[in-house]
Each structure stands twice: as structure tokens, then as C-alpha cells.
Amino acid sequence: MDAGWSQEELADRSGVSVRTVRNIETGAVQSPRHSSLSLMVAAFQTAGLFEAEYVLRDFTDRNGIESSVALSGRSAGVSTSNGVRVGDDHDWLVGRKNDISRMCDSLQRDRWTTLVGPGGVGKTKLAFAVADRLRSQFAGGVSAVHLGETSDDHDETAIWHAVCEALLTEGSPGDRSAAMRRLVVIDNIEHLQTPTVRVCQRLLAEFPDVWILITSRHAVAAAGVKTVEVRPLSAVDAEQLFLHRAQAACSDLDLTGRGSAVTEICRKLDGLPFALEVAALRLRSLSIDTLLEAPVRQIVAQPSVAGLPHQQTLVESVTWSYRMLGEEPRRLLHWLSPFLEAFTIKDLLGRPDREAVADDFPHLVDIVSDLVDRSMLQVRRGSEYRYSMLGHIREVIGILQ
């Protein structure tokens, strides 16, 4: 099992203790934990040291241990998977042709791409659609680490272990080489951003064959990251998605002649795919006119079956993001919530009550910038930047204290 590494280096690369490495190498432990062996296999495999990996795998086979089953990442509650597929849910990709093209271009040039956007905009579906489309360009495989169901007390080591598990691929050592590019998708990192960014930086530094695609509500401020913003759907695309979903939810529903109502409900829901799907499901029991009269928070109250609470409804999504903010950004959100139209920094500076939320121009700019980075404000860039708050965010902010 000679890889040219010291026991300390193998321990550092795999996350296994030096004592465990020593005991396995000397035979002091005849039945080591399969999670420890799997992490060591992952370290060898990701470094292209397949001879050492083969010896270790042979050891696990002879001792009846499944080396690819249980890693520390999984036992810590991090979901991982290999062979990523987007499935047949093509409706979610309506209006996303340009986004997919930009993401594919980025992943062909840049080793680390981040999809950033508000909750419910469809970042996860887009990420997996792109991963599936680029599968042929990553001969080493495409894997995923799902952090959406992971609590925020997980540390860098747990995430590192989960990524190592995801990078384990099927086949024999002879089927792989260090030149085979691999893509790992790390989904929903916003509540674990700092440790996940460190893991990504370590991956890029240590494993030149690994490419990274992550999704987050919060923009990543790190060297080498290419950011792709995911925005709500255009009016036309939102209507198309809504009608498709409405027909799927209730095949005998007839919305002929209700074009203006469909347009209004899509506008009311900000063109967010998740919100449009929930509203379409509501049409099984409520008319579109009833939905138009209801507050947004009531329309989108139908929970998802997966994820932590902040992943399950748009109301919880906004509430969770709000609670991650400091006092000053919260105060500014409440101050901005009455703004129904897009605004500029100059507009804010001209308000007589501006000093209640920011005492000077640099202070105001810092807070607005932070809210944009966290997807709580949208920005349209031109000769003058214009900012806006999505309607569902404005409504939820209005009921929060």
C-alpha cells in the first residue's frame, strides 16, 4: 500500500486519524471500521494512486468490508450520490436555455462555478441539468453532495468526508486515470458556506482533475470562482411553466380565455418556478380567481417533502434568510419593503428618513451590497444600477418583526 505518503500525510488527506492509519498498516487492527477504509480509498483514488487504492480495496474485500457504503459524510447526515441524472422533469427547464449555455461555457473554462439566486428559483434543477448535459466531458464521472438536509452545525471535516465519498466511482482501478476529469455538484451550501468554500479551495489545490459546481443563495467571495446568477423566469416563460403544471395537476381544468389571470398570477409569484408549481397544484381545489385574491404566503404554503424547514416553503425560505441577517440589514429590508418599483442608490439617499437605517453613503452601500449578495435584493445592471425586492420577499418581510 505504498503511495509515497507518510502516515501523517495519508491521515491529513483522508480525514482518518494517524493512529488508525498506523493500526491498519501494521495489522494491529484486523477489522477496522469500513468508514475509515472508505476514506482512505477515496484519498488514493482522488490522487490517482490506483495501485495503493487497489491494495486497500483488496484488503476490504478479503475482510468482507464494503468500502463504498458508509463514509463519515453520510453518517453525519450529508446526502451523496453518484451517476447524477436530471430525470424527465423538463418543465423546470422552460426558459433556461441561455442559463444552461452560460453554465456549460463556464464549466468548460473554469474549475469552480457557483449558481446564485433566491430560494425557489430553480438552482438545483439547473445544476443537475447541466451536469447531465456535460457528462461526456467528465470521463471520471459526475457526483453530487446534497447539503440541503444538513444542519448548520456540520464542520469542514464532515463536508470533506462527504465530498470524498461522492468522488468514489464504480469500476476497477485499471478503468480510471488521474487525467480523467470529474465533476462534483455541491448543492445548497448557503447555511454551510464558510466550511464548504474551504473544502472547495482544498479540492482545487490538491486534485487537478476535479471540477466543482455549487448552488447557493449567497454569492461566494473567493478567488477563482465564476458566478452565474439565476433569475426568475420571464413573463412568457413563467406562463408556459404554470400552464404545463396546471394541466399536469388537473387534466380537466380549462383556462381558455383566462390569459390575463394567468399573467397576473405569474407576476404575483415573481416568476419563481417553485412558487408556480405550488400555485398550479392549488388549482385542484381553488379557482385562479381565488388564488389572485389570496396573499402570496397563503398561495405558496404547500410544503415540499424534502429538506430542512428553510427548503420546504417560500415563507420559511425567506424567514430563514432573514434570520441569518444582522440587525442593520434587517432594518434596511423593512425600510425598503414599501418600495414597489425599482430604485437606485440615489433614490435612497434622497429619502429624508434615510439616516434611520444608514448614517452615511458608504454604510448604506455596504448594506445594500450585502443584501444583493444574499439574494434578498435583485439588481439590474446598467449605466445606473437599479434594485428591487421580489414581491413574495416583500410580503414576508412585512409580517416579520
- CATH at 153: 3.40.50.300
Same domain, yes or no: 178 and 282: no
Task: Residue 138: name the closest of 102, 86, 106, 183 by CA.
Answer: 183
pLDDT of residue 51: 43
In a domain, 301, yes or no: no
In a domain, 157, yes or no: yes
In a domain, 1, yes or no: no
Same domain, yes or no: 96 and 64: no
CATH number at residue 379: 1.10.10.10
Our CA dihedral for 54, 57, 61, 66, rounded to 10 degrees, sits at -150
pLDDT of residue 171: 34
Number of domains in the chain: 4
In a domain, 2, yes or no: no
In a domain, 303, yes or no: no
pLDDT of residue 123: 92
Classify the C-alpha dihedral 117-196-160-107 as positive or negative: positive
Last residue of a domain, one of 229, 249, 269: 229
In a domain, 298, yes or no: no
Same domain, yes or no: 151 and 110: yes
- H/E stretch holding 82 reads strand 79-82
Residues 6+ apart with CB under 8 A from 249: 280, 281, 283, 284
Cβ atoms within 10 Å, residue 26:
9
In 124-224, at which residue ranges do the beta strands (DSSP E only) sit? 142-146, 182-187, 210-216
Q: How confident is the prediction along the chain (401 residues), in pLDDT tens digits per residue?
A: 445 677 777 777 666 677 777 777 777 766 666 556 656 665 665 554 444 444 455 455 544 444 332 223 333 344 455 555 544 455 568 889 999 999 999 998 999 999 999 999 999 889 989 998 898 888 888 888 888 666 665 678 888 888 887 776 433 333 444 457 889 999 988 888 899 999 999 999 988 889 999 999 999 989 889 999 999 999 999 999 999 999 988 889 999 999 999 999 999 999 999 999 999 999 999 999 999 999 888 887 766 555 555 667 888 889 989 998 999 999 999 999 888 889 999 888 888 777 777 777 888 899 999 999 999 999 999 999 999 999 999 999 988 86
Pairwise CA distance, residues 139 & 176, whole Å: 9
Same domain, yes or no: 79 and 60: no
Same domain, yes or no: 265 and 381: no
Same domain, yes or no: 151 and 135: yes
Last residue of a domain, one of 180, 207, 229: 229
- Beta-bridge mates of residue 91: none
Same domain, yes or no: 65 and 102: no
Structure pTM? Answer: 0.74
In a domain, 136, yes or no: yes
Same domain, yes or no: 282 and 262: yes
Same domain, yes or no: 163 and 192: yes
Same domain, yes or no: 198 and 251: no
Same domain, yes or no: 147 and 206: yes
Last residue of a domain, one of 203, 229, 255: 229
Same domain, yes or no: 185 and 217: yes
In a domain, 152, yes or no: yes
Q: Domain residues for 283?
A: 235-293
DSSP track, 344-394: -HHHHHTSTTGGGT-SSHHHHHHHHHHHHHTTSSEEE-SSS-EEE--HHHH
pLDDT of residue 307: 55
Pairwise CA distance, residues 255 & 252, whole Å: 10
Q: Do 116 and 375 contact (CB within 8 A), yes or no?
A: yes
